[in-house]
Amino acid sequence: MTISTRLTELLGIEHPVILAPMAAVSGGALAAAVSQAGGLGLIGGGYGDPDWIDAQYAAAGNARIGAGFITWSLAQRPDALDRVLRRSPVAVMLSFGDPTPFATTVRNAGAKLICQVQTIEDARVAAAAGADVIVAQGTEAGGHGGTRTTMSLVPPVVDAVAPIPVAAAGGIADGRGLAAALSLGAAGALLGTRFYATVEALGHPAAKSRLVASGGADTVRTSVFDVVRELAWPGQWTGRALRNAFVRRWAGREDELRADLQGAIGAFREAVRTDNFDEAAIMAGEGLDLIGAIEPAAAVLDRLVMDAEDTLRRTAATCR
């Protein structure tokens, strides 16, 4: 049994579930595991380090996967896209910036173009650029994102870009969330944090343990990690992360952090080097309340789809 939608048809996958290309988390092993379990795994190309991407493609073996990039960063080093396209990815996902300059290159290489957006306006831009799939990402998502919520953003995006299939992202971590995404008019869902909490995800076991121990209320949208990492994120996107000691110290005091940046950077890098997650960032979304264990990605995906099917049948039975 599975759930068949325009997304599964278009991408040639069994289940309407896409792995979010989380930078430094969605490596080749996780992407391969998600694809082999029937979803679509995307390597987290992030800021576009070609050697890291090569290594992760090697780790994925011959699994049928794709990759994702941060668009404004890719614009500064477009060679990373070329390296990925030579791998014949199923799809390339672009987020956070205008996809138009890359759209023809991606599609001419035979890859599907997935564009993630945070506003209705950007959904229209992505549709005009030729996106094959549009991901409508709510503010509850982990990592970078905007201010609109999944519940209120997905339906108007679906209406604005029809008939392009939409995947919902943000706050989805179980079968109920996937079923809700389909109810909102999406043809599937993109999940990040739920797959971070898997055996195959990159990341330190202590970071994953914190995901299991935390709830959505322990996360916050903030720019402090972008400031200390000297990343030039445009102001409309902030990163949702666990509220640790570093966040508590600097959130709301970003100007002071910038003024004392050289001192802070040294301490932050040392925290990253020593896996000190009171200081180093753990990006995570509000779906954390639904995550109870670190499991193999296939077990997560199997249960997700089975529970979504149960939910869809149960709710349809309320119509009398």
Contacts with a copy of itself by CB under 8 A lie at 1-5, 119-121, 138-140, 148-153, 155-156, 170-174, 176-177, 179-185, 215-217, 285-287, 289-290, 309, 311-313, 315-316, 318-320
Q: Which is nearer to a copy of itself, 80 or 141 (CB)?
A: 141
Provide, rounded to whole angstroms, the least separation between the CB of residue 122 and a copy of itself.
Answer: 11
Q: Which is nearer to a copy of itself, 303 or 313 (CB)?
A: 313
56 torsion bin: left (phi>0), alpha (psi -120 to 50), beta (else): alpha
Give the C-alpha distances (Å, rounded to integers) separating 281 from 11, 196, 221.
33, 14, 12
Q: Which is nearer to a copy of itself, 60 or 288 (CB)?
A: 288
Provide, rounded to whole angstroms, the least separation between the CB of residue 127 and a copy of itself.
Answer: 16
The token pair at 215 is 């709830």
Q: Which is nearer to a copy of itself, 58 or 316 (CB)?
A: 316
Q: Which is nearer to a copy of itself, 100 or 149 (CB)?
A: 149
Provide, rounded to whole angstroms, the least separation between the CB of residue 189 and a copy of itself.
Answer: 11
Q: What is the DSSP string of 150-205?
A: HHHHHHHHHHHHTTS-EEEESS--SHHHHHHHHHTT-SEEEESHHHHTBSSS-S-H
Provide, rounded to whole angstroms, the least separation between the CB of residue 105 and a copy of itself.
Answer: 30
Q: Name 150's Cβ contacts closer than 8 Å, sequence gap at least 6.
A: 136, 137, 138, 139, 140, 141, 168, 169, 170, 171, 172, 181, 184
Q: How far is CA 236 from the centre of its chain?
A: 17
Q: What is the DSSP letter of 218?
A: G
Provide, rounded to whole angstroms, the least separation between the CB of residue 19 and a copy of itself.
Answer: 19
Residue for token pair 């110290």: 249
Provide, rounded to whole angstroms, the least separation between the CB of residue 78 and a copy of itself.
Answer: 30
How far is it, in rounded angstroms, from Cα 172 to Cα 21? 15
Provide, rounded to whole angstroms, the least separation between the CB of residue 86 and a copy of itself.
Answer: 35
Q: Which is nearer to a copy of itself, 84 or 166 (CB)?
A: 166
Q: Which is nearer to a copy of itself, 38 or 156 (CB)?
A: 156
What HEC string does 59-85 produce?
HCCCCCCEEEEEHHHHCCCCHHHHHHH
Widest pairwise Cα distance in the chain: 65
